[in-house]
Amino acid sequence: MKRERETAVPEEGSGTWRDDVPERVSAVLSDALEMGATDVHVDPVGSNAYRVRYRVDGAIHPKAEISKAEGQHLVNEIKVAAQFTPDRAFTALENRFTLDTDEGPREVRVTVLPTAKREAAHLRVLSPPSEVLRPTELGLSEAHLSLIRRTLRRPEGLILISGPTGAGKTMTLYSLASFLDLETVIAVSVEDPVEYDLRYVRQVQADPERGLSMPAAVKAVLRMDPDIILVGEIRDAQSAITAVRAAASGRFVLATTHATDAVLAVEACLYSSVPRHLLGSALRLVISQALVRSVCGHCAEPRELSGEERELFQAEGLAPPSCVPSAQGCEACHHFGYRGRTGLFQVVALDREMAVAVSGTHGAEALRSRIAQRGLPSLLQDGLTKVASGVTTMEEVRSLHVPGESEKGDPD
Ligand SMILES: [Zn+2]
């Protein structure tokens, strides 16, 4: 199972398999994993202490402060685990190692950086391949799932998955790929970085430092006779144009893009100089996504809505529920009040009328107007619906600032 990975700072060499991870590091990581953390931050605070903090389901949870000596020991052991050479204390160090856990090997990416005070460390626990969620676990409604499944049966076209950083776009991309019969088609992905193993997908890692930029990688995989191309994520105009051209010429392309709703994703494509008529003819579906924490089912308690919350439901055209969940905290959720996360989605299928709208001079605004006319639920409406059904809380949905129908300007 030894897996070696390239790092952003190649001088430190490739990642290593460690079954002798130093005691402090292994204790912190097993505590963090037990709490479901994805990240461990170790920072110097004041002149005499360190603080260890975990990121669980996207939120930061501070642990108790530790002494300066203990903190420095921990940082040093982290450097040993990642095989950093001790004399390179004044540069940024990055490497990976593999931790042996009861649930199998977990890859850990380590960054150590000198701050104004002392060295700070960050450990990212990378999700193992088995944790790619099934499409039904993402938080998509049955109607959305069947719409996506129908779209994926078509031989060509583009599906865009949009959202801000950390919204779970890559997970959705990989998860939806499982709807495809990947054994009987040639599927190639271009990723930066490759985060999970996908069976039957030729996964290409874009690596600009070694001369394989994202646009160059997308162009190269097009020459490899693919039926399906997965792009995570489109960050530049050239990749956008290449991906849309591929989708308009007989390939199926699934790509993620950084935009906070479906219309802005289309706008970003047009802004990247993707020809309007090409986007209009290739685009089949835009899935816009945000992530919220799921309230703990063991300890959540119902509470009444405030007047303002009631008005928010009404403004979004939804009936206010009689009560909504309020996060509490118990043993099962490590007293966070939340366990795991779920997606909020807006799914826009581009039929002929919508495609014509995208191809027109005011593509994005015309699309917004069509979406409003059809009454397609916004991210905020999906969030409020999930609050009403007890999946998450008002506090989570409101913390996202997701665009709702009432916040949008007049359609053109
Ligand atoms: Zn709980």
Most confident of 3-17, 190-204, 309-323: 309-323
- Percent of the chain exceeding pLDDT 90 equals 52
* Residues composing the chain: 412
What are the DSSP E strand ranges found in 328-402? 338-349
pLDDT recorded at residue 3: 37
Give me the pLDDT at residue 398, please: 92
How many angstroms separate the alpha carbon of residue 104 from the centre of ligand 1? 26
* One domain, residues 86 and 51: yes
The Cα 273–Cα 50 span in angstroms is 49
Q: How far is the CA of 35 from the centre of ligand 1 (A)?
A: 12
185 and 285 in a single domain? The answer is yes
Number of domains in the chain: 2
Instruction: Give distance in angstroms: CA of 51 to centre of ligand 1.
Output: 25
**Residue 227's pLDDT band (cuts 50, 70, 90):** very high
**What is the CATH classification number for the domain harbouring 362?**
3.40.50.300
How close is the Cα of 300 to the center of ligand 1, in Å?
A: 7
Domain boundary among 93, 126, 159: 126
Indicate the residue among 94, 126, 158 that finishes a domain: 126
Residue 383, pLDDT > 80, answer: yes
Is 161 part of a structural domain of the chain?
yes
- The answer as to whether 243 is a domain residue is yes
Residue 63 Cα to ligand 1 middle (Å): 19
Distance CA 316, CA 252 (A): 35
Q: Which two tokens stand for residue 355?
A: 């495609």
> Parallel, antiparallel, or unpaired for β 49-56 and 157-163?
unpaired
Per-residue model confidence (pLDDT) at position 88: 60
Q: Which residue has the higher pLDDT, 131 or 360?
A: 360
Local structure of 296: helix, strand or coil: coil
Residue 377 resides in a domain: yes
Q: How far is the CA of 99 from the centre of ligand 1 (A)?
A: 28
169 Cα–ligand 1 center, Å:
27
Centre of ligand 1 to C-alpha 32, Å, is 17
Mean pLDDT within 304-324: 96
Give yes or no: residues 100 and 233 share one domain: no
Average pLDDT, the chain: 86
25-29 LR contacts (CB < 8 Å, sep 24+): 25/74, 25/77, 25/78, 25/80, 25/81, 26/99, 28/52, 28/74, 28/123, 29/99, 29/108, 29/123, 29/125
At 364 the pLDDT is: 85
Distance 61 CA to ligand 1 centre (A): 15
Q: Please determine, for residue 370, whether its predicted confidence score (pLDDT) is greater than 80.
A: yes
81-85, 260-264, 321-325, 398-402 — most confident range: 321-325
Judged against a pLDDT cut of 70, whether residue 217 lies above it is answered with yes
| Claim to verify: residue 332 and residue 373 sit in the same structural domain | yes
Tell how far the Cα of 26 is from the centroid of ligand 1, in angstroms: 26
**Statement to judge: residues 136 and 119 lie in one domain:** no
Cα separation, 180 vs 153, whole angstroms: 8
CA of 298 to the centre of ligand 1 (A): 5
Task: Please tell me the distance from the alpha carbon of residue 61 to that of residue 168, in angstroms, as a whole number.
Answer: 20
Nearest Cα residue to 243 out of 182, 158, 170: 158
Residue 4 lies in a domain: no
CA of 256 relative to ligand 1 center, distance in Å: 33
Q: What is the mean pLDDT of the segment spanning 230-237? A: 89
- The crossing angle, in degrees rounded to 10, of helices 237-248 and 262-271 is 100
Interval 99-117 mean pLDDT: 85
Q: Answer yes or no: do 93 and 203 share one domain.
A: no
CA 185 / ligand 1 centre spacing (Å) = 44
Residue 102 Cα, ligand 1 centroid: separation in angstroms? Answer: 24
Cα 174 versus chain centre, distance: 11
Q: How far is the CA of 339 from the centre of ligand 1 (A)?
A: 7
Q: How far is the centre of ligand 1, averaged over its atoms, from the C-alpha of 341 (Å)?
A: 14
3-state SS assignment for residue 147: helix
Given this model, what pLDDT does residue 131 score? 66
Ligand 1 centre distance from Cα of residue 366 (Å): 45
Ligand 1 centroid–CA 325 distance in Å is 12
| Closest to 217 measured CA to CA, from 200, 203, 201 | 203
Region of poorest pLDDT, from 103-117, 309-323, 374-388: 103-117
Cis status, amide bond into 233, omega within 30 of 0: yes
Q: What is the residue range of 239's domain?
A: 131-407
pLDDT given for residue 146 in this prediction: 94
Question: How far, in Å, is the centroid of ligand 1 from the Cα of 373?
Answer: 41
Q: Are residues 81 and 164 in the same domain?
A: no
Q: Is the dihedral of CA 192, 198, 201, 202 positive or negative?
A: positive
> Residues with beta carbon < 5 A to ion ligand 1?
296, 298-299, 330, 332-333
pLDDT digits (tens, 9 = 90+) for 45-69: 988 999 999 999 888 999 989 999 9
User: What average pLDDT does this structure show over 213-233?
Assistant: 89
End-to-end CA distance of the chain: 57
**Distance from the alpha carbon of residue 301 to the mean position of ligand 1, in angstroms:** 10
Secondary structure letter of residue 377 according to DSSP? P
Same domain, 331 and 267: yes
One domain for residues 94 and 172: no
Q: How far is the CA of 34 from the centre of ligand 1 (A)?
A: 15
Per the domain annotation, does 5 fall within a domain?
Answer: no
Q: How far is the CA of 244 from the centre of ligand 1 (A)?
A: 45
**44 has a pLDDT exceeding 60:** yes
Q: Are residues 80 and 140 in the same domain?
A: no
In terms of Cα–Cα distance, which of 96, 100, 91 is closest to 26? 100
